[in-house]
């Protein structure tokens, strides 16, 4: 009887861990899709899409250590000339999910024109996502230039 009870407990735990892993894989897929949508919206200078992705109270940390508000970030997107910067698809994205919070890390490349010359700058990013009432939103983001 004890063996049957132990087996039942092990089966219940295995099912709950499997369900948890399945839930995490859905969260990981969703956050990866959100990261790609952010890159695409940035590339297309789509302020409406970016407004939907970024939380109103987002903390943006630039590669020089300065902080930026959502309003300033969106303003910079619309005032930049299309040839100034063009972010391309991310090179890598990894996501760790913790219930209603997910941390994504990775590397993206940006085509930059400086002094008439074009080059590609690579940045490592860390973004924090929170599920608020069923909607994932980015509440913190930072990027640091990767040394060549």
pLDDT in tens, 121-144: 888 999 999 999 999 999 999 999
Q: How far is CA 87 from the centre of its chain?
A: 14
Does this model's pTM top 0.85? no
- Rounded to an integer, the average pLDDT of 43-47 is 88
**If we measure between CA atoms, which residue out of 51, 53, 33, 49 comes closest to residue 41?**
49
More confident residue, 114 or 143: 143
How would CATH label the architecture of 2-145? Roll (3.10)
- At residue 119, the pLDDT reads 78
* Alpha-carbon distance values, 146 to 7, 11, 24, 113 (Å): 51, 46, 29, 17
- Rounded to an integer, the average pLDDT of 37-44 is 87
Helix (H, G, I), strand (E, B) or coil at 30: helix
């Amino acid at each position: 009887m004890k063996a049957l009870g132990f087996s039942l407990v092990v089966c219940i735990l295995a099912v709950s861990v499997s369900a948890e892993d399945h839930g995490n894989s859905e969260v990981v897929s969703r956050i990866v899709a959100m990261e790609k949508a952010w890159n695409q919206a940035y590339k297309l200078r789509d302020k409406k899409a970016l407004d939907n992705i970024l939380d109103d109270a987002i903390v943006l940390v630039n590669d020089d250590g300065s902080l930026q508000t959502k309003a300033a970030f969106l303003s910079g997107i619309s005032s930049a000339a299309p040839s100034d910067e063009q972010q391309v698809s991310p090179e890598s994205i990894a996501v760790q999910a913790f219930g209603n919070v997910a941390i994504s890390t990775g590397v993206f490349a940006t085509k930059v024109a400086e002094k008439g010359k074009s080059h590609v700058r690579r940045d490592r990013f860390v973004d924090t996502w929170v599920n608020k009432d069923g909607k994932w939103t980015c509440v913190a983001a930072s990027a640091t230039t990767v040394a060549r």
